[in-house]
Structure 1
Amino acid sequence: MGYVPPPLPQHGLEEGPILLKDGRTALLRRARPEDRPLFLDFLSRLSEETLRMRFFSPTSPETAADLLLSQKPEEEKVTLIVLAGDPPRIVATGEYVREKGKDTAEVAFLVDDAFQGKGLGTLLLERLALLAAKRGVRRFQAYTLAENKPMLSVFQESGFEVRAYREGGEVEVEFEIVPSEKAVERFEWREKVATLASLHPFFFPRGVAVVGASRDPQSVGYRVLENLVMGRLQGPVYPVNPEAERRDGVLYVGPLLAYESVNQIPGPVDLAVIAVPKEKVAGALEACGRRGVRAAVVLTTGFSEREARALADLARRYGMRLLGPGSLGLAHTHPGVRLAAGLVPLPREGGLALSSQSGTLARAVIAYAEGMGLGISSFASLGAKADVSSNDLLQFWEEDERTRVILLYLESFGNPRRFSRLARRIGKKKPILAVHPSRDPVVRALFAQAGVVRANSLEEAFDVAALLALGRLPQNPRVRLIANASGPSNLALEALKEGGMEVEQVDLGSTARAEDFQKALEEALASEAGSVFLLYVPMGFAEKEAVLAPLRAAQTDKLLLASVMGEAGVRARLSGGVAVYRFPESAAIALARTWAYKVWREEPLVFPDFPDLDLEGARRLLEGKTRLSEEEKARLLQAFGLPLGEEGGLELGLEVRPHPLFGPVFRLLLPTPLGPQVLGERLSPLTLKDAEELLRPLEGHLELGPYREVLLRLSRLVEELPRVESLALTLRGARVAQAEVVLRAD
Structure 2
Amino acid sequence: MGYVPPPTPQHGLEEGPVLLKDGRTALLRRATPKDKPLFVEFLSRLSPETLRMRFFSPISPEKAAELLLSARPDEEKVTLIVLAGDPPRIVATGEYVRGKGEDKAEVAFLVDEAYQGKGLGTLLLERLALIAAKRGVRLFQAFTLAENQKMLSVFQESGFQVEAHREGGEVEVRFPILMEERAAERFEWREKVSTIASLHPFFFPRGVAVVGASRDPESIGYRVLEHLVLGRFQGPVFPVNEAIGPGGTVGPLLAYPNLESLPLPVDLAVIAVPKERVASALRAAGRRGVRAAIVLTTGFSPQEGAELSELARRHGMRLLGPGSLGLVHTHPEVRLAAGLVPLPKAGGLAISSQSGTLGRAVMAYAEGMGLGVSAFVSLGAKADVSSNDLLQFWEEDERTGLILLYLESFGNPRRFSRLARRIGKKKPILAVHPSRDPLVRALFAQAGVIRANSLEEAFDVAALLASGKLPRNERVRLIANASGPSNLALEALKEGGLSVEVVDLGSTAKGEDYEKAVAEALSSEAGTVFLLHVPMGFASGEEALRPLFQAQGGEKLLMACVMGEAGIRARVQGEIPLYRFPESAAIALARAWGYARWRAEPLHFPDFPDLQVERARKLLEGPLAEGELLKAFGLPLGEGEGLHLKLRAEPHPLFGPVLTLLLPTPLGDQPLGQRLSPLTEKDAEELLGPLKAAGVDPGPYREILLRLSRLLEELPEVERVDLELKGPRIAQYALRLRNR
1:638 partnered with 2:631: yes
Alpha-carbon distance in structure 2 between the residues aligned to 1:370 and 1:70: 62
Name the amino acid aligned to 2:524: S
Contact 2:227 2:342 in 1 (8 A): yes
Q: Show the counterpart of 1:660.
A: 653
Superposition TM-score, scaled by structure 2 size: 0.99
Name the amino acid aligned to 1:657: E
Q: CA deviation at 1:251?
A: 2.4
Q: Show the counterpart of 2:594.
A: 596
Contact 2:259 2:284 in 1 (8 A): yes
Q: CA deviation at 1:745?
A: 2.0
Map 1:432-581 onto structure 2 (within 5 A). Answer: 432-554=429-551, 555-581=553-579
- Aligned-residue Cα RMSD (Å) equals 0.8
Q: Show the counterpart of 1:738.
A: 732
CA deviations over 1:89-143 (Å, ceiling 9, x no partner): 0000000001111110000000011100000000000000000000011110000
CA deviations over 1:28-51 (Å, ceiling 9, x no partner): 000001000000000000010100
CA deviations over 1:635-669 (Å, ceiling 9, x no partner): 10011010111112211110111111100010000
Contact 2:655 2:676 in 1 (8 A): yes
1:714 partnered with 2:708: yes
Q: CA deviation at 1:624?
A: 5.8
2:650 is paired with a residue whose SS is strand
Q: Show the counterpart of 2:226.
A: 226
Q: Show the counterpart of 1:190.
A: 190
Name the amino acid aligned to 1:673: P
Name the amino acid aligned to 2:725: L
Q: Show the counterpart of 1:130.
A: 130
Alpha-carbon distance in structure 2 between the residues aligned to 1:450 and 1:648: 34
Superposition TM-score, scaled by structure 1 size: 0.98
Which of the residues 396, 400, 407 maps onto 2:397? 400
Which of the residues 665, 674, 677 maps onto 1:681? 674
1:112 partnered with 2:112: yes
Alpha-carbon distance in structure 1 between the residues aligned to 2:738 and 2:289: 44
1:259 partnered with 2:252: no
Q: CA deviation at 1:703?
A: 2.8
Q: Show the counterpart of 1:45.
A: 45
Q: Show the counterpart of 1:647.
A: 640
Q: CA deviation at 1:731?
A: 1.0
CA deviations over 1:528-572 (Å, ceiling 9, x no partner): 100000000000000111111111110421000000001111111
Q: Show the counterpart of 1:366.
A: 363
Alpha-carbon distance in structure 2 between the residues aligned to 1:567 and 1:47: 76
Contact 2:466 2:575 in 1 (8 A): no
Q: CA deviation at 1:702?
A: 2.7
Q: Show the counterpart of 2:57.
A: 57
1:715 is paired with a residue whose SS is helix
1:586 partnered with 2:584: yes
Alpha-carbon distance in structure 2 between the residues aligned to 1:484 and 1:703: 43
Identity across the alignment (%)? 77
Q: Show the counterpart of 2:90.
A: 90
Alpha-carbon distance in structure 2 between the residues aligned to 1:228 and 1:600: 41
Name the amino acid aligned to 2:119: G
Map 1:327-338 onto structure 2 (within 5 A). Answer: 327-338=324-335
Alpha-carbon distance in structure 1 between the residues aligned to 2:240 and 2:139: 55
Q: CA deviation at 1:501?
A: 0.3
Q: Show the counterpart of 2:610.
A: 612
CA deviations over 1:54-101 (Å, ceiling 9, x no partner): 000001111111110011111111000000000000000000001111
Which of the residues 415, 418, 423 maps onto 1:418? 415
2:410 is paired with a residue whose SS is coil
Alpha-carbon distance in structure 1 between the residues aligned to 2:282 and 2:739: 40
Q: Show the counterpart of 1:144.
A: 144
1:250 is paired with a residue whose SS is coil
Which of the residues 270, 278, 289 maps onto 1:292? 289
Map 1:226-375 onto structure 2 (within 5 A). Answer: 226-244=226-244, 246=245, 249-375=246-372
Q: CA deviation at 1:742?
A: 1.2
1:671 partnered with 2:671: no
CA deviations over 1:329-369 (Å, ceiling 9, x no partner): 00000000000000000111011000000000011100000
Alpha-carbon distance in structure 2 between the residues aligned to 1:710 and 1:110: 45
Find runs of 4+ consecutive structure 1 residues off by over 4 angstroms: none
The answer for unaligned runs of 5 or more in structure 2 is none
Alpha-carbon distance in structure 2 between the residues aligned to 1:375 and 1:4: 38
The answer for unaligned runs of 5 or more in structure 1 is none
Q: Show the counterpart of 1:76.
A: 76
Q: CA deviation at 1:218?
A: 1.0
Name the amino acid aligned to 1:623: E
Q: CA deviation at 1:701?
A: 3.4
Alpha-carbon distance in structure 1 between the residues aligned to 2:720 and 2:688: 20
CA deviations over 1:682-706 (Å, ceiling 9, x no partner): 0000000000000010015333222
Name the amino acid aligned to 2:547: P
Contact 2:329 2:376 in 1 (8 A): yes
Alpha-carbon distance in structure 2 between the residues aligned to 1:556 and 1:201: 39
Alpha-carbon distance in structure 2 between the residues aligned to 1:509 and 1:729: 58
